[in-house]
Amino acid sequence: MTTLEDAWRWYNSTRRHLRLSHRLANRYWDVLPWSGQLELDDDFRHLDREQVKEEAEMSLSHLDDLAVVVLFSVFESVVRERIGNEVAAESALLRHRALKLAAAEAQDKIAEGSFFHVLQPFKDVHADLVEEVNQVRQYRNWVAHGKRGAPQARVTPKAAYDRLGRFLEVMQSGSP
Amino acid sequence: MTTLKDFLSQEADKWHAQAAQRDAKRKEWIESVRRLLGEMKKWLKEADTKGVLEIEEGTISLAEASLGHYDAPALRIRLGEREVRVEPRAFRALGPPAAGGLAEGMVQITDNARRYDLYRYTNKYGEQWFMIDEDEYSTKLFDQAQFEKVVVRLFQ
């Protein structure tokens, strides 16, 4: 997955398939045509209704938090790459060695430094949006670090996708 | 190295400094959930003319950076072996952009597989709840009609 759209499609497809499995087990298990091909299929004949239901529920219970991590990781990668390319293009025009060094250091920070600092330059024009993206980042960190303590604010994949997508649109429009 | 006594003393200063505000927010939020669940129970009773639903009130334990640990009211709605749960998830939650930014409350209605998220905002209209439609991801003002649709969708 290399784009926010890829990650969003992955999340929705996974969620849909898990829900379908859950619904099959929960509602239609007894009316499935078990006699015939299904009962001869090694992948299906030992399936247990409660097990399928519980596994789907367990997977769904973690999917949203995992999706926020995935969405943010893709977003971070796209933002670093895009800003890095823009800065590289402008750095190529610099002539003074002090400015070249400063530009090289800036590029290193954009590629490897704290993502919080990468977002900061956008705050003067898009303070609210940057704040919301930071809330997604904080939630991602909370999930990625083992959910220790309590999160600052709850974030769903949809809320994350909306904010991160809006930020990418702002970047795309060139307004920063 | 910081001693436990010093550490706890510093933490206590921070914790107590925000106690009044935190307690007021927590109380306001729990009351808000209670009002919402009260509305839902009323709507369910209006619809359940033949008395087939079983409604169980309970609590759920939550932990949040801004409010600490607390218990909030929750509902279990049963129709035979099927169950729908209504549970507050957080006081601070990033809500739908169409409704505003940071919501002051998030409640989920779920059957463990499908889920509908409600977000609470207080604005010039007073307190409003918005729902994210799980199927089309649209944002709707939450009311009796929306609640009834959700309950049917989850039980069907």
Dump pLDDT digits (tens) for B37-81.
999 999 999 999 999 999 999 999 999 988 999 999 999 999 999
Residue A176 has pLDDT above 60, yes or no: no
Q: Rounded mean pLDDT of chain A?
A: 92
Nearest to A132 among B94, B106, B137 (CB): B94
Please tell me the predicted confidence (pLDDT) of residue B133: 82
Compute the nearest-CA separation of A33 from chain B (Å): 21
- Residue of B98, B140, B99, B142 whose CA lies nearest to B121: B99
Dihedral of CA atoms A82, A84, A85, A91 in degrees, nearest 10, equals 150
Higher-confidence residue: A58 or B2? A58
Question: CB-CB: which of B66, B95, B113 is closest to A159?
Answer: B95
Contact predicate A171/A79, CB 8 Å? yes
CA distance B30 to chain A (A): 17
Please state the rounded mean pLDDT for residues B111-121: 94
Per residue in A108-119, pLDDT tens?
A: 888 888 888 888
So what's the pLDDT on residue A122? 85
pLDDT of residue B90: 95
Q: Is the Cβ pair A155, B94 closer than 8 Å?
A: yes
Chain B residues in contact with A60 (beta carbon < 8 A): 112-113
Tell how many helices (H) and how many strands (E) occur in chain B.
Answer: 3, 7
Mean pLDDT estimate for chain B: 92
Mean pLDDT, residues A150-169 taken together: 93
What's the half-sphere exposure (Cβ side, CA atoms, 13 Å) at B116? 26
Q: How far apart are CA B30 and CA B60, in angstroms?
A: 11
Given a contact cutoff of 8 angstroms between Cβ atoms, the answer to whether B117 and B130 are in contact is no
Between CA A110 and CA B111 the distance in angstroms is: 43
Shortest CB distance from B106 goes to which of A136, A154, A162?
A154
Q: Is this prediction's ipTM beyond 0.90?
A: no
- Would you call A150 and B64 a contact, using CB atoms and an 8 Å cutoff? yes
Residue B16 neighbours by CB under 8 Å, 6+ apart: none
- What residues of chain B lie within 8 A of the CB of A150, using their CB? 63-65
CB contact under 8 A, B113 and A56: yes
| pTM of structure | 0.88
8 A C-beta contact, residue B95 and residue B111: no
Query: H helices of chain A, where?
Result: 4-23, 39-40, 49-91, 97-112, 115-119, 127-144, 157-173
* SS3 call for B34: helix
- Helices B4-17, B19-47: axis angle to 10 degrees equals 60
- Residue whose entry in the numeric block shows the structure tokens 């930020």: A167
What is the three-state SS of B39-102?
Answer: HHHHHHHHHCCCCCCEEEEEEEEEEECCCEEEEEEEEEEEECCEEEEEEEEEEEEECCCCCCCE
Pairing mode, if any, of strands B115-123 and B102-110?
antiparallel
